[in-house]
A = this chain, B = another copy of it.
Amino acid sequence: MRQEHQTQKINLPPGALVHIGQRLVDAPRITAIEYVDEAYSCRELGGDIEEALGAIRAFPDRKSVLWLNVDGLHEPKTIEAIGKAFNLHPLVREDVMNTELRPKLDEYEECIFMVLKMLDYDEAEEQIIVEQVSIVLGDGFVLTFQERVGDVFEAVRSRVKDNAGKIRKMKADYLAYRLLDAIIDHYFVALEALAEIVDRLEERLADTPDRVKADELHVLRREVLYLRKSITPARELIGTLARIEDPQLITPAVEPYFRDIHDHVVQVSESVEHTREVLGSMLDIYHASLSNKMNEVMKVLSIVTAIFIPLSFIAGVYGMNFRHMPELEEPLAYPVVLFAMLLIGGAIAWFTKRKRWW
Which chain A residues (256-281) contact chain B, with CB distance < 8 Å? 256-257, 259-260, 263, 266-267, 270-271, 274-275, 277-278, 281
Please tell me if A331 contacts chain B, counting CB pairs below 8 Å.
Answer: yes
Contacts of A106 in B (CB 8 A): 256, 259-260, 263
* Copies per complex of this chain: 5
Q: How far is the CB of A37 from chain B (nearest CB, A)?
A: 16
Choose among B210, B295, B315 the residue that contacts A317 (Cβ–Cβ < 8 A).
B315
Q: Bound complex: CA of A80 vs CA of B306, how far in Å?
A: 72
Contact with B along A313-343 (1 / 0, CB 8 A): 1011111111111011111111001100100
Please tell me if A139 contacts chain B, counting CB pairs below 8 Å.
Answer: no
Contact with B along A183-197 (1 / 0, CB 8 A): 001101101100110
> Can you name 12 A-B pairs with beta carbons within 8 Å?
A6-B185, A11-B155, A14-B257, A95-B260, A102-B270, A222-B281, A233-B270, A287-B287, A301-B301, A315-B317, A321-B325, A324-B332
Question: Which residues of A are interface residues toward B (Cβ below 8 A)?
Answer: 1, 3-7, 9-15, 89, 91, 95, 101-102, 104, 106, 108, 154-155, 159, 164-165, 167, 177-178, 181-182, 185-186, 188-189, 191-192, 195-196, 198-199, 202, 206, 208, 210, 213-215, 217-218, 221-222, 225, 229, 233, 256-257, 259-260, 263, 266-267, 270-271, 274-275, 277-278, 281-295, 297-302, 304-306, 308-313, 315-325, 327-334, 337-338, 341, 356-357
Beyond contacts A13-B167, A290-B292: 13 other A-B pairs, Cβ-Cβ < 8 A, are A5-B192, A11-B154, A14-B178, A14-B260, A101-B263, A217-B288, A225-B277, A290-B291, A298-B298, A304-B306, A312-B316, A315-B319, A318-B321
List the 10 shortest-distance A-B pairs measured between CB atoms, nearest first.
A315-B316, A11-B155, A214-B288, A301-B302, A318-B320, A3-B195, A6-B188, A322-B334, A102-B267, A319-B319
